[in-house]
């Protein structure tokens, strides 16, 4: 009997045999030859799809698509979708889903606008109140899912209905409340101009370089194989080129929007937390195999509650970006916002089955969706119906790829 107890007990190190204890050790868009030989194509299909979309629209728009002002507007219009998509990524990593994100976003945006316009709260306090409202909503959803074991689909669908009604109630008898505070309006309308926009990425690049060397040192100490040193400088060079290219585009237009700093700020923080903290490793472990994670001593309930709370808080931030862009808080929730957020997450490579995906996939997914929407608007003959059909086709292709990849990995034992 004693031997049976010993054999069935597991430690946190044992869970690595069942679930991925750490997030993918890769940078955005990284695809190595060794991974390709193993059949792991990573985000390569999404990258190729994005390049194809850009080339097609650039040709058929007569060169208008890649105008700096058009690209700047494209990225700015998708900032709120990117943040809400990041919230969807967090729940998908747990193999859960949050259908209330759009309603929560609009509700938190309305809370911020009401406190600012009607009660004259300072911009910072009104913004914090909107984020706290999202956090509380997420914690309630998480408690219902993690403690009462109600399926997240049911909880968040009911939440979508409830929070949509609550939104209409707190704005009654108005159907729209106008945002007047210049600071809140400036989140999506103000720009950082030269030379501050050029100097601002330097700390981020320095942090990324430190992360590369930290990764390399950690692998060496663990006795794992590391690549040649030139690969570190190549990764850094790719990031520098991307940042420089983005700065050229923004500088050729109006400057770098404040919203871009917010989007990449939350992406970087989320990436660091998920990749380099115990909490992040536990998130991937719970998403990969919750029972094995529980046996390893991970507090699965706390992880689920925390992720739902953080996800709804991010949705609240996305809602504040929506109100800043439209300078108003409407009572009608746009259901397409939720669909786009989930589509961005899935197209960016996040698995619907949990435990696999990177927050940087949001960048790829939002660029693909944004380029499709923006490119089709350049053609007067392109209807909204055709746009929705095309976006749906791209989404189903991403889901099929996810299912095929997961089945192949299961067959090969990976």
Can you give the pLDDT at residue 270? 94
Can you give the pLDDT at residue 385? 76
User: Cα–chain-centroid distance for residue 116?
Assistant: 27
Can you give the pLDDT at residue 130? 96
Residue 62 falls in which region: left (phi positive, over 0), alpha (psi -120 to 50) or beta: left
* Average pLDDT of the chain to the nearest whole number: 84
Span 275-296, average pLDDT: 92
Q: Specify whether the CB–CB gap between 61 and 378 falls below 8 A.
A: yes
The C-alpha atoms of residue 77 and residue 280 are separated, in whole angstroms, by: 30
Span 36-40, average pLDDT: 49
Span 77-99, average pLDDT: 93
- pLDDT tops 60 at residue 32: no
3 state SS for 352-396? CCCCCCCCCHHHHHHHHHHHHHHHHHCCCCCCHHHHHHHHHHHHH
SS3 200: coil
Span 272-300, average pLDDT: 92
Can you give the pLDDT at residue 19? 45
Can you give the pLDDT at residue 411? 60
The C-alpha atoms of residue 280 and residue 295 are separated, in whole angstroms, by: 18
- pLDDT tops 90 at residue 168: yes
Under the banding of pLDDT at 50, 70 and 90, the label for residue 406 is low
Name the least confident of 97-111, 130-144, 275-289, 344-358: 344-358
Can you give the pLDDT at residue 380? 60
Can you give the pLDDT at residue 15? 42
Q: What are phi and psi of 66, to 5 degrees?
A: -90, 15
Under the banding of pLDDT at 50, 70 and 90, the label for residue 409 is low
- pLDDT tops 70 at residue 23: no
Q: Which of 404, 406, 371, 352 is nearest to 89 (CA)?
A: 352
* pLDDT per position as a tens digit, 305-337: 999 999 999 999 999 999 999 999 999 998 889
* pLDDT per position as a tens digit, 385-395: 777 787 788 77
**Which H/E stretch holds residue 191?**
strand 191-192
Can you give the pLDDT at residue 414? 53
3-state helix, strand, coil in the chain (%, to 5): 70, 0, 25
Query: Strand pairing of 191-192 and 176-178?
Result: unpaired
Span 83-100, average pLDDT: 94
- pLDDT tops 50 at residue 16: no
The C-alpha atoms of residue 172 and residue 188 are separated, in whole angstroms, by: 26
**Which H/E stretch holds residue 155?**
helix 152-171
Span 342-349, average pLDDT: 87
Can you give the pLDDT at residue 412? 58
Assigned token pair, 130: 């909107």
For residue 88, give every residue at least 6 positions away whose Cβ sits within 8 Å of its Cβ, in sequence order, or none: 97, 98, 101, 311, 341, 342, 344, 345, 350
Under the banding of pLDDT at 50, 70 and 90, the label for residue 195 is confident
Q: Which of 177, 178, 142 is nearest to 159 (CA)?
A: 142
Span 95-114, average pLDDT: 95
Under the banding of pLDDT at 50, 70 and 90, the label for residue 101 is very high
Span 163-172, average pLDDT: 94
Highest-scoring range by mean pLDDT, 30-34, 116-120, 220-224: 116-120
List, in sequence order, every residue forming a beta bridge with 176; answer none if it has no partner.
Answer: 330
Q: Which residue has the higher pLDDT, 374 or 412?
A: 374
**Domains of the chain and any CATH numbers:** 16-193+254-412 (1.10.3470)
* pLDDT per position as a tens digit, 253-265: 888 888 999 999 9
Can you give the pLDDT at residue 189? 87
The C-alpha atoms of residue 58 and residue 77 are separated, in whole angstroms, by: 19
Span 394-411, average pLDDT: 70
Kindly calculate the radius of gyration of the chain based on its CA atoms and give it in whole angstroms: 22
Percent of the chain at pLDDT exceeding 70: 86
Assigned token pair, 374: 């923006």
């Amino acid at each position: 009997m004693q031997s049976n107890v010993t054999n069935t007990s597991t430690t946190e190190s044992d869970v690595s045999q069942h679930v991925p204890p750490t997030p993918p050790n890769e940078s955005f868009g990284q695809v190595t030859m060794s991974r390709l030989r193993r059949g792991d194509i990573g985000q390569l299909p999404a990258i190729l799809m994005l390049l194809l979309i850009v080339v097609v629209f650039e040709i058929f728009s007569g060169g208008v698509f890649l105008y700096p002002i058009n690209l700047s507007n494209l990225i700015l219009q998708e900032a709120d979708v990117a943040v809400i998509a990041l919230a969807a990524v967090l729940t998908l990593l747990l193999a859960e889903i949050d259908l209330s994100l759009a309603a929560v976003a609009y509700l938190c945006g309305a809370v911020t606008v009401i406190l600012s316009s009607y009660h004259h709260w300072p911009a910072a306090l009104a913004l914090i109140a909107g984020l706290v409202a999202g956090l509380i909503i997420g914690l309630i959803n998480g408690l219902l899912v993690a403690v009462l074991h109600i399926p997240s689909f049911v909880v968040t669908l009911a939440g979508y209905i409830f929070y949509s009604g609550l939104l209409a109630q707190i704005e009654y008898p108005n159907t729209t409340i106008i945002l007047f505070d210049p600071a809140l309006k400036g989140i999506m309308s103000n720009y950082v101009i030269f030379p501050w926009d050029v100097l601002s990425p330097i700390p981020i690049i320095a942090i990324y370089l430190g992360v590369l060397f930290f990764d390399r040192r950690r692998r060496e100490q663990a006795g794992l194989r590391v690549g040649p040193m030139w690969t570190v400088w190549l990764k850094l060079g790719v990031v520098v080129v991307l940042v420089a290219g983005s700065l050229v585009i923004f500088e050729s237009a109006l400057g770098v929007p404040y919203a871009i700093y917010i989007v990449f700020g939350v992406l970087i923080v989320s990436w660091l937390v998920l990749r380099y903290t115990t909490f992040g490793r536990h998130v991937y472990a719970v998403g990969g195999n919750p029972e094995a994670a529980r046996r390893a001593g991970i507090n699965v309930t706390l992880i689920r509650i925390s992720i739902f709370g953080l996800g709804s808080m991010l949705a609240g931030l996305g809602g504040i970006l929506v109100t800043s862009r439209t300078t108003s808080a409407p009572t009608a929730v746009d259901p397409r916002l939720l669909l786009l957020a989930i589509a961005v997450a899935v197209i960016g490579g996040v698995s619907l089955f949990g435990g696999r995906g990177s927050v940087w996939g949001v960048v790829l997914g939002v660029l693909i969706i944004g380029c499709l929407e923006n490119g089709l608007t350049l053609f007067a003959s392109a209807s909204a119906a055709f746009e929705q059909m095309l976006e749906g086709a791209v989404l189903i292709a991403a889901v099929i790829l996810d299912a095929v990849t997961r089945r192949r990995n299961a067959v090969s034992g990976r």
